[in-house]
Amino acid sequence: MTIVRLGYVAMSVHLENASPSQTMTYKQFFQLKDREAGLRKLERIAVSNLQNCLRLLKHNLANDIRFFRFSSKLVPLANHPELKDWKFMRALKEPLREIGDFIESHPQRIGFHPDHFVLLNTTNKDTLKNTLQTLKIHEAMLKGMAVDPKHRCVLHVGGAYEDKEKALEQFIHNWGLTPVSLQDLIILENDDTVFTMHDTLYLCEKLGVPMVFDYHHHLANHEKDWEEDWGRVAGTWTNSPLPVKMHISSPRSDKEYKAHAEYIDPNMFMDFLNEIKGSVKQIDCMIEAKKKDDALFRLVEELGENKQLRWVDKASFEIL
């Protein structure tokens, strides 16, 4: 049997005034006459975002959801080149500690998925520098929560730069320039356009990195026969302290196949689960849907009468 644990991304459509992604643009910051007052305002926004994260975790606990992805927009302008002297982690120490205390009391899996500008296979030195700095910020926030950063940060392989094979080797080259602590932070996901399951698996096996299998991306990338290599994907998690992780989303329509729908197609999800059941003891499934936690709740309701499943709680079940 395999235990399946459901999670969702970043924010709730059920909690009011709980956005973890409140922000300020650099233009807005620049227009402020008092720079120090502007920095304090940025810190207040970041603290509010973290306080909303704690509200989200409490909401999740009430619904037995123990798998959650934090927004990567918690600290506005955190990596802006004009604010390199800003020591924002000092202001975040207390709210991060409160989140960490809650996670310690109510164990759950949390992590991050930095935005598309985080490119570890770039050939541009400045982009690579910014990528490593962004990863350091994510690592610092996890440490501020007293959460082990190992395998908590999902990345895509990056851009193809008109030569996919060369781009894969560029990733390997840049991996050698990446501090070991940041290497430990990273897990890799296949994308829907360039780097397939097999491309990503090549890197993961070569570098010893766990692979996050995105089922929807795989289907959108027109690659077949994922089932025969599923054992290899699961095997990349052998040395991880965390269970195997995958992403589940559904296409918005046949014409907009790559776009994420508001909810999850339960039949599509079960197609995946029926193939992998029994292959791993546990798998954490991150729901990437426009309706966030409501998509999770609807999926639970739609799967509720499925006789193949035995529910452990309101957000996890065993496949029989």
Share of the chain above pLDDT 90, in %: 97
- pLDDT tens column, 96-130: 999 999 999 999 999 999 998 999 999 999 999 99
Give the structural domain span for 51: 2-319
Domains in the chain, number: 1
Q: Does the structure show a pLDDT above 90 at 223?
A: no
HSE of 157, CA atoms in CB hemisphere, 13 A: 31
| Residue 155: φ, ψ to 5° | -125, 150
Which tokens is 219 given?
Answer: 């289907």
Q: What confidence score (pLDDT) does residue 116 get?
A: 86
- pLDDT tens column, 170-217: 999 999 999 999 999 999 999 999 999 999 999 999 999 999 999 999
Q: What confidence score (pLDDT) does residue 84 get?
A: 92
| Residue 89: φ, ψ to 5° | -65, -25
- pLDDT tens column, 225-283: 899 999 999 999 999 999 999 999 999 999 999 999 999 999 999 999 999 999 999 99
Continuous segment of H or E residues that includes residue 285: strand 282-287
| Residue 319: φ, ψ to 5° | -90, 120
Helices 197-207 and 164-175: crossing angle, nearest 10°? Answer: 30
- What's the CATH code of the domain at 221? 3.20.20.150
